[in-house]
Amino acid sequence: TSPNPNFATPVASLGFLVYSIFAFGGMEASGGLVDNVKDKKSYIGGLTFAGAIISIGYAIGVFLVGTFTNWADIMGATDVNGEAIVNYATVTYVVVGQLGLTIGKIFNMSNPEILKVLFARFAGFGMFFAYVGAFFTLVYAPLKQMIDGTPEELWPYGIGSDDPVTRTPKKALTMQAVFVVVMIALVAFGGSGASKFFATLQGMTNIAMTLPYIFISYAYIRFLNNDSIEKPFQVLSKNKSFGIFAGWVVTLVVTFANIFSVMDLNSSDIGIFGINIPGVYDEFIIGPVIFSIISYLIVHHYEKKRKK
């Protein structure tokens, strides 16, 4: 039974799968660079080992947080307006600070608050450097792979071409930045408080990061079934049946995790611009819907151009 009221029902708890899957965010971006690695088998072995470390560490971390952080007093605390004090932007620093405070009390420090502040500051520096590296990878790598992996003619207005000076998809990066700013602005000006704002951004990020896994894993199934494609090396899928089975497990788990994460069973969502789709969080699905329409129009235009 989760102390978090947002995950009080079985369906909402299944929606937490998206948060768990999000812990692996970035592995798919670095995985797309395997063509630049000489020893591919060792690289994939490293990814597999990293996945195991993340899984075990995530589970142990969740358990240990509960040993020194009281949900009702710390995580569920509210201000005078009834808004949650801890949100997705501050939770890391609050939890690590609470760890310092607990250690200070265990060692009978006269002022354990000092450790609380030091631990929180340390977490701040750690998160800053980690995010700087992650943002460079997550902003650039997926877009670069998508541009390089598709025909240049597919993209309108020269978006699919690299800048001759920087040798980067400059126009595509600019377009991506514009879309991100617009999406954040739509959420920011929705009139909700800080806690709701960061929760919405987190939900949108989770779905944006995990939804592509569905297409990647399904493509992997098709890849294994296509005997005409040369497969120079295989790691866990030397047994074709096992590889297909694993592919379907991943596809179905991620699919249902995303479905459960957008379901609004309590009808708490107020919608966007006064328009509310019953039973779902509108802001979580507006991104995938918009980009699906844009993708269809781009491919449709490309196919028409090819026929001519």
| 232 pLDDT higher than 60 | yes
Segment 232-246 shows an average pLDDT of: 78
Higher local confidence (pLDDT), 235 or 73? 73
Residue 39, pLDDT above cutoff 80: no
Report the half-sphere exposure of 86 (CA within 13 A, side-chain side).
Answer: 18
Lowest mean pLDDT among 121-135, 203-217, 258-272: 258-272
Question: Highest-confidence range of 103-117, 127-141, 153-167, 178-192, by mean pLDDT?
Answer: 103-117
Q: Is the pLDDT of residue 288 over 60?
A: yes
Any idea what the Cα angle at residue 15 is, between residues 13 and 21, rounded to 5°?
A: 115
User: What pLDDT, on a 0 to 100 scale, did the predictor assign at position 248?
Assistant: 93
Residue 149 has pLDDT above 60, yes or no: yes
**Cβ 244 vs Cβ 223: under 8 Å:** no
Assigned token pair, 20: 């768990």
Task: Tell me the one-letter amino acid at 52.
Answer: A
Q: How far is C-alpha 65 from the chain's CA centre? A: 21
Least confident of 74-88, 193-207, 241-255: 193-207
Q: Which of 200, 196, 212, 195 is nearest to 258 (CA)?
A: 212
Show the domain range for 201.
Answer: 5-307
Pick the residue with more confidence: 286 or 235?
286
As given in the structure block, the two tokens for residue 122 are: 């340390």
Instruction: Sort 121 into a burial class: Cβ within 10 Å, 0-12 / 13-18 / 19+.
Output: middle
Mark residue 245 as left, alpha or beta (left: phi above 0; alpha: psi -120 to 50; beta: remaining): alpha
Residue 264 has pLDDT above 60, yes or no: yes
**Six token digits for residue 115:** 């450790």
- Calculate what percentage of the chain has a pLDDT beyond 70: 85
Computed over its alpha carbons, how large is the radius of gyration of the chain?
22
Per-residue model confidence as pLDDT tens digits over 2-28: 777 777 777 777 777 777 777 776 676
Long-range contacts of 118-122 (CB under 8 A, 24+ apart): 120/93, 120/94, 120/96, 122/96
- Let me know: does 100 contact 119? Beta carbons within 8 Å: yes
Phi then psi for 276, rounded to 5 degrees? -125, 120
What is the pLDDT averaged over residues 186-200?
A: 67
Q: Is the pLDDT assigned to residue 270 strictly greater than 70?
A: no
In whole angstroms, give the CA distance from residue 116 to residue 95: 10
User: Number of folded domains in the chain?
Assistant: 1
Q: Predicted confidence band at 125 (pLDDT cuts at 50, 70, 90)?
A: very high
Question: For position 233, what pLDDT does the model report?
Answer: 67
pLDDT value at position 118? 95
The burial of 258, by beta-carbon neighbours within 10 Å (0-12 exposed, 13-18 middle, 19 or more buried), is given as buried
Work out the number of other CB atoms within 10 angstroms of the CB of residue 81: 6
pLDDT at 160: 84
Whether this prediction's pTM lies above 0.75 is answered by no
- Indicate the average pLDDT of the chain: 81
Structure confidence at residue 100 (pLDDT):
94
